[in-house]
């Protein structure tokens, strides 16, 4: 018998709209400002430690719990290794959080024998997040068979206060899992830690503060993960520490929450070279702090220049800016820049389709970017 392969796939997977990552084209001379990668390489020390590890030992499994890295991270963040879990990028941990803390809708049905759920039961199956924020969250919810609760940010992309959220009635303070991207992506806006503290106090389920860009920001919320038992902070070596390729991210939170995640983790989820590179990164932080300062300075200069050219720029505390361009629609700008070998990100989604997200490259790349922008403006 020859079954239709379509029929072998779970309906949930058949219907799934997968996450769309930014393109990784290999065009010579392309200026790549579309995926928030760091324009600077890892430090010479990190490269040396990775090179030294490449020998016959590649046949061995890596440390299953990334012990040395967790100890170093604990010392750096003044907590205990029990507060930390390392992932194959922070994306893996975000996915694990959904599996560990959220009931699939089908499980609810089974437990009640009724197709209508009470509000309390529905909250157990809820993945909640602001819109716009990281576009992976809705995909994770769909994949798990959970319910999504996207809640609009204010029109200027600031976060509504707890009082405003209560008044508007859309926020579920009992949601099993809430993701907050802070600073936010793709908008680049910072969120005051005091506002996050208030939100985490009022929200009773697990709250993941996704701090992928915290190193570029003025405020960090990491201490909230050590203060509230329901709060987890997510960090990554990808963006500020130039390690996208090796996939290392981590969560910090209450030991009970963290150990639940360890239970559902793949035995060897973090590759050995990634562990070594991340450890070496923590031994060389001055190198990265200097790069981060350069990126921040370049970002602020770019924002000023673009504002002078008529772009409307959302204030950024990240390594990218979110901007509404003048004269032509953002989609046209995306094409015009692409034609001139500059790749930025344009999201064809409501609320954000009038904007471009531009990753901060080296000062030289951003000068070239501005030259191209001026040339496009001169023709339109
Ligand atoms: C890049 C990014 C991540 C994923 O980081 P990895 O550690 O590379 O998986 C998570 N959250 C946000 C908001 C990001 O922008």
Strands 231-236, 249-252: pairing is antiparallel
The mean per-residue pLDDT over the stretch 117-135 comes to 93
Strands 147-152, 320-324: pairing is unpaired
The pLDDT of residue 174 is 97
pLDDT in tens, 312-342: 999 999 999 999 999 999 999 999 999 999 9
Question: 3-class SS at 126?
Answer: strand
Alpha helix segments (H runs only) across the chain:
11-14, 44-53, 67-77, 90-101, 105-112, 119-124, 136-144, 162-168, 193-202, 222-227, 255-264, 272-282, 285-308, 330-339, 363-379
The mean per-residue pLDDT over the stretch 102-109 comes to 87
Report CA(213)–ligand 1 centroid distance (Å).
8
Report CA(138)–ligand 1 centroid distance (Å).
14
> 230 CB less than 6 Å from ligand 1?
no
351 within 8 A of 131, measured Cβ to Cβ: yes
pLDDT in tens, 199-226: 999 999 999 999 999 999 999 999 999 9
- The span from the CA of 160 to the CA of 209, in Å, is 16
Sheet containing 84-87: which strands, arranged edge to edge?
A: 84-87, 249-252, 231-236, 206-210, 177-181, 126-131, 147-152
Report CA(288)–ligand 1 centroid distance (Å).
18
The pLDDT of residue 120 is 85
Handedness of CA 330, 334, 339, 341 (dihedral sign): positive
Q: Which atom of ligand 1 is nearest to the CA of 236?
A: 7
Mutate to test the pocket of ligand 1, among 19, 189, 232, 238 (most ligand atoms within 8 A of CB): 238
Q: Which atom of ligand 1 is nearest to the CA of 238?
A: 8
Q: Is the pLDDT of residue 114 over 90?
A: no
Handedness of CA 230, 156, 361, 337 (dihedral sign): positive
Report CA(236)–ligand 1 centroid distance (Å).
7
Q: Which atom of ligand 1 is nearest to the CA of 249?
A: 7
pLDDT in tens, 292-305: 999 999 999 999 99
343 within 8 A of 21, measured Cβ to Cβ: no
> 186 CB less than 6 Å from ligand 1?
no
Q: Tell me the CB-side half-sphere exposure of residue 285, using CA atoms within 13 A.
A: 6
Report CA(113)–ligand 1 centroid distance (Å).
38
The pLDDT of residue 21 is 84
> 215 CB less than 6 Å from ligand 1?
no
pLDDT in tens, 129-178: 999 999 999 999 999 999 999 999 999 999 999 999 999 999 999 999 99
Give the predicted TM-score (pTM) of the model.
Answer: 0.96
Longest CA pairwise span in the chain (Å): 67
> 274 CB less than 6 Å from ligand 1?
no
The pLDDT of residue 119 is 83
């Amino acid at each position: 018998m020859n079954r239709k392969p379509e029929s072998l796939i779970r309906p949930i997977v058949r219907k799934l709209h997968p996450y769309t990552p930014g393109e990784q084209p290999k065009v010579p001379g392309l200026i790549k400002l579309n995926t928030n990668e760091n324009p600077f390489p890892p430090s010479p020390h990190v490269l040396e430690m990775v090179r030294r590890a490449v020998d016959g030992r590649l046949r061995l499994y890596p440390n299953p719990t990334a012990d040395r890295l967790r100890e170093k991270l604990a010392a750096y963040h003044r907590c205990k290794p029990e507060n930390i879990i390392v992932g194959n990028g922070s994306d893996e941990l975000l996915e694990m959080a959904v599996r560990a803390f959220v009931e699939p809708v089908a499980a609810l049905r089974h437990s009640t024998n009724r197709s209508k759920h009470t509000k309390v039961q529905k909250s157990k199956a809820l993945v909640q997040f602001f819109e716009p924020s990281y576009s992976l969250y809705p995909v994770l919810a769909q994949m798990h068979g959970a319910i999504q609760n996207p809640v609009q940010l204010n029109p200027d992309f600031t976060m509504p206060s707890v009082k405003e959220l209560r008044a508007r009635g859309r926020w579920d303070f009992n949601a099993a899992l809430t993701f907050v991207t802070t600073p936010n992506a793709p908008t680049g806006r910072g969120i005051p830690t005091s506002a996050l503290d208030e939100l985490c106090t009022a929200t009773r389920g697990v709250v993941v503060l996704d701090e992928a860009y915290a190193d570029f920001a003025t405020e960090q919320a990491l201490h909230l993960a050590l203060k509230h038992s329901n709060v987890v902070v997510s960090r990554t070596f990808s963006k500020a520490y130039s390690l996208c390729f090796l996939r290392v991210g981590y969560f910090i939170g209450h030991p009970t929450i963290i150990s639940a995640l360890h239970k559902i983790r793949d035995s060897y989820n973090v590759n050995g070279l990634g562990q070594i590179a991340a450890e070496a990164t923590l031994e060389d932080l001055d190198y990265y702090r200097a790069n981060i300062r350069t990126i921040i300075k370049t970002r602020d200069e770019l924002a000023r220049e673009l504002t002078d050219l008529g772009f409307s720029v959302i204030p950024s505390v990240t390594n990218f800016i979110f901007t509404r361009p003048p004269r032509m629609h953002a989609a046209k700008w995306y094409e015009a820049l692409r034609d001139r070998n500059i790749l930025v990100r344009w999201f064809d989604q409501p609320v954000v389709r009038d904007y471009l997200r531009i990753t901060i490259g080296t000062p030289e790349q951003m000068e070239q970017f501005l030259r191209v922008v001026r040339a496009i403006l001169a023709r339109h």
